[in-house]
A and B are shown apart, each in its own frame.
Chain A
Amino acid sequence: MEFVWFWTFWHWSTEGFRSGSLLRSPLQGISSHWDEWYQHEASGTERSAIDALGFSVFEQRRFLCWLTRQWAKDARWRGELLPARYVLAQLSRVRPFETWTAFEKYRTTYGSPGIAAIVLDEDSTGKSEDVRRVEAVALPLDEDAASAAIVSDGFHTDAGELSTARRAALSLLNGKGLIVFLTLWLLMGARPYPRYLRVLLFAGWLLVISLIVRLLTGQDPGAGLITLAAFLFTLWSALVIVAIGVASSLAINAWRTGRALRNRVERRQLRFRMTDGLSVHGGSAGLALCLNSLLAAQRSHPLLANRSWLWERFFRGLRGASRTWAATGIVDADGSVEHVVLEPKIRACVDNPAITDVLTPWQPDAKQSEVQKVVTSGRRAAPARSNPGMVLGFASTKRKLRSHRCRHAAQSLMTIGDFTSRPQLAANALGLVVTVVMALALPDIRNVLLPPAAPRIVGPGSPSPYYLWVSLDTDRPDAFTAELESSFWSNRRADVFAYGGADASVRAELRLSRNGRPGTIDEQDGTVWIQRRRKFLGREFESGERVASYPFAHVTRLPHE
């Protein structure tokens, strides 16, 4: 077994923690534990073996490889894989590793790059160095009461600022922030449809619209109305079910995964690292810290976020953005992003060639046009090299800094995950309008596809001899019309409505007027027909089948009470 002495140390550390001689867990206190073990517990042979490694850079690197590839996988703490780079960063500060060349790069980094923060030096008007790399790792939290939930490493800042950024991250994982994100995504977020399905769904919505237009403006389909209505309803229902089903399942999945991630963060210590030993005043690094907290949560269990398409896509984007994006903005605990002094920060981003995108609060000077002005002025102000006889040739592409404005941190999730989709927004708007129209037309479609049972004529009758009340025992008045056919009275047709008041009933009111040329002198002559009504929104089609008929005399004799 290679490097057995490191296993001896790890065993001493874990046993020391379990037996109560060490306060901090083997992971949290690894540098301190190593220092104690190496200097006072290791045997002479072990110390010689360790020191012998230090003489050769090749051997040092071999140890590093073993530590990251072998030991970090085998030596689990509380059932979890160990963050190898964090361990290396901690060990790089203690003897004998503090002098080892192979540990050099770990002295200033956890190896977990994140979104950069823009923290201006005192009196700086915006320089490349003001764009600071921020790293974050989430470690299992010790039970020690004095163990902080958030630790700043390499810089000092108000603990409240860090705490607010953490709370905003928790809100984004599972809280108000996530609700805002899901709402934005539902409105304009890309869906995980394959291309053919996206085209098919869009064509489906267009077909629904054309069917609606056909029903509203085309010829009366006659008997074909049922087929048309059935097709329209089925197609619309299928589209709505697909849209709602996909969106809700993704949203629920994101909520559950977010809750799991949040629980993870709550049980962990977040460690932020920013070099240069700054004492950070103000909260404009809040947005960057918040986003890096999310990244730390994901890195603590990379497979967890893969359960949700939304989170997986966002974290993929965040990892990709971690070397080229910067963020500035004060976040509150709910994730709202507040204004900051922006111009020098934009200038710093312009000055830093690695930065291509910057997340900013929603303020006027963060508009792309304003940012481009700073970019242009920065180019003009660049000092020209005075070398006689030489002319500078600009073969580089034009410097472009994209500004992404956010009112809420959830918008930065939309941006980083590249969720915003204009075609989806258009499709959603179209679908929403169509659905509203269909919702209004649903009672009519229902009457066509699922007609109610034929009603009976019931009381009350009309109190006036000039009117004929045809009261029906139905709860769907809009499905019927009443028609009077008589040789004595003028033929009339009336729609059925639900009337309220003292004479409340579902009835059609037919005004009685004598026929100009009566075919009979019997004023009780006539038949009252009940017909099915066929309509679609405001358009009336030819009446449907007659479902009942009553003698005129029977209807007039119905009591008013």
Chain B
Amino acid sequence: MKKVVGIESLLAWRRQRAEAEAPPAPSGAHLLKLVQPWWEMWPDRFAASVRRLAAVQLSYGYAMAHPPHGHSGHPVAALISREQDGDQEAPARILYVSVRDGRLRLRFQLAPIPRSDRVYDVTFISETGLRPILSASADLSGEDEYRLDVELPSDLAAAWQSLKVTDPMPFRFILRPADSN
């Protein structure tokens, strides 16, 4: 015996079943927590990293016969923060910096480290106040360079507009391998 079922009732049946199997919708508090930056989620860990980063005194020592002239960059203090291995200092060389149309384009190279990752979450820590000012994702580009492209807040865009790669950088880095988030 053939039972005739209308298409509307079939769709209604399917919707009811999907609703019954679907996970509950996340709460507003949970969504807020997901967009929270990591330094607010783990303030103790961030404070420890900043303390260590602040202790890094980084500059080139010129032991050469003739001082360099013109195009010489300044190293940027960077800390690679891994959950398992702890923090590791690895000074970064800024290879390219461009602030245009409110976006920062940056390429940097880390000092040789035993293990490098393909993607880092980069937290910019202000050089003066040691506060987090920006966060972006940096991808490995080429063999040993990382590149990031991020929209800047208007105040930073204005302040960094004339930044040159040869200037001392107004920030330090905390790098977190992307898979550790």
Contacts and interface: CB of A to CB of B under 8 A. Distances in A.
Interface of A: 16-17, 19-25, 29, 31-33, 35-36, 39-40, 93-94, 142-146
Contact of A143 (B71, B93, B165): B71
A145 B96 contact: no
A21 B142 contact: no
A94 B142 CA distance: 7
B165 A22 contact: yes
Interface stretch (B13-21, B22-30, B62-70, B115-123): B62-70
B143 to A, nearest CB: 7
A21 B71 contact: no
Interface in B95-150: 95-98, 105, 107, 141-143, 145, 147, 149
Contacts of B143: 93
Contact of B165 (A20, A39, A94): A20
B73 A144 contact: yes
A510 B60 CA distance: 86
A142 B68 CA distance: 10
Contacts of B165: 20-23
A142 B93 CA distance: 14
A353 to B, nearest CB: 34
Contacts of B141: 32, 35-36, 39
Given A21-B97, A93-B142, A94-B142, A142 B71 contact: yes
B80 to A, nearest CB: 19
In the complex, which of the residues A16, A32, A39 has the most CB atoms of chain B within 10 Å of its own CB atom?
Answer: A32
A16 B71 contact: no
A40 B149 contact: yes
Interface string B69-104: 111110100000000000000000111111000000
A265 to B, nearest CB: 15
Q: Which of A22, A35, A145 has the most B CB atoms < 10 Å from its CB?
A: A145
A143 B72 contact: yes
Contact of B68 (A35, A93, A94, A145): A145
B95 A35 contact: no
Interface of B: 60, 62, 68-73, 75, 93-98, 105, 107, 141-143, 145, 147, 149, 164-167
B71 A17 contact: yes
18 contacts: A16-B96, A19-B164, A20-B164, A20-B165, A21-B96, A21-B98, A23-B166, A32-B142, A35-B145, A36-B107, A36-B141, A36-B147, A40-B149, A94-B142, A143-B68, A145-B62, A145-B68, A146-B93
B164 to A, nearest CB: 3
7 closest A-B pairs by CB: A20-B164, A145-B60, A143-B71, A23-B165, A23-B73, A143-B70, A145-B72
Contacts of A22: 95-96, 165
Contacts of A23: 71, 73, 93-96, 165-166
For A17, A23, A29, A36, the residue with the greatest tally of chain B CB atoms inside 10 Å of its CB is: A23
A32 B75 contact: no
Contacts of A35: 141-142, 145, 147
Nearest to B141: A35
Given A35-B141, A93-B142, A93-B143, A145 B95 contact: no
Nearest to B100: A21
Contacts of A93: 142-143
- Pick from B60, B62, B98 the residue with the most CB of A within 10 Å: B98
A35 B70 CA distance: 25
Nearest to A149: B64
A36 B93 contact: no
A36 B149 contact: no
Contacts of A32: 95-96, 107, 141-142, 145
B181 to A, nearest CB: 25
Contacts of B98: 16, 21
Nearest to B165: A23
B142 to A, nearest CB: 6
